[in-house]
Structure 1
Amino acid sequence: METVIFRKVLDYLTDYVGELTTPGTPVLDAATGHWRVPVLCKTAKGILPVGAFLLDEAGHFVAVPDKEQMVRVLETQLTRLPFLVFGEKEELEKKGVQVVSV
């Protein structure tokens, strides 16, 4: 059933959201009987979670994330998420990059 749930969410994302999104691993909540499937978005900064679908045990959608809300979540995460840049400290500071050594 997990494969059926995954495929159903993948088809929905492909048809209504876009090709840069993909479902994560479906997880069945035994208490509620609902499948929770995270939505992941591919970006230049990595793969980020942006929402989740809920499906009942029969595979019917219970909750579908709104595309605009997923875009807002993604934009918020991208502004907060640092990224790794290799370069000389002085060169990066000249370009206005806040340098953090690790």
Structure 2
Amino acid sequence: MKNTINLKTVITAIVLGVATTSAQEVKNYDQGFRLGFGLNGGLPLNDPYDFNLGADARLQYNLSQRYSLTLTTGFSNMFVSGDNNDLGYIPAKAGFKAFVLKDQLI
């Protein structure tokens, strides 16, 4: 009888251990690159510029569900009425993105 009780205890412990391990399994997050494009516009605050138009491209690498590295570039042009005095520029930005609140996870 004593061996039967020990065998039942061992089997119960194994079943509970497997069930607990399965319940705590973490879903693998797909780390990878994302590419995005955007258009932007604006109203400059300094004279003589009238308005701004541009296009951007962003490359993002997801480190985890909460953290990403980003690289953004594009072309923007500030327009001036009259002669060819427009100002065109290429912005470049490298960054780190973090979702700090739980409800912002993708």
Normalised by the length of structure 2, the TM-score is 0.31
Larger radius of gyration: 2
- Larger relative contact order, structure 1 or 2 (CA cutoff 8 Å, min sep 6): 2
Normalised by the length of structure 1, the TM-score is 0.32
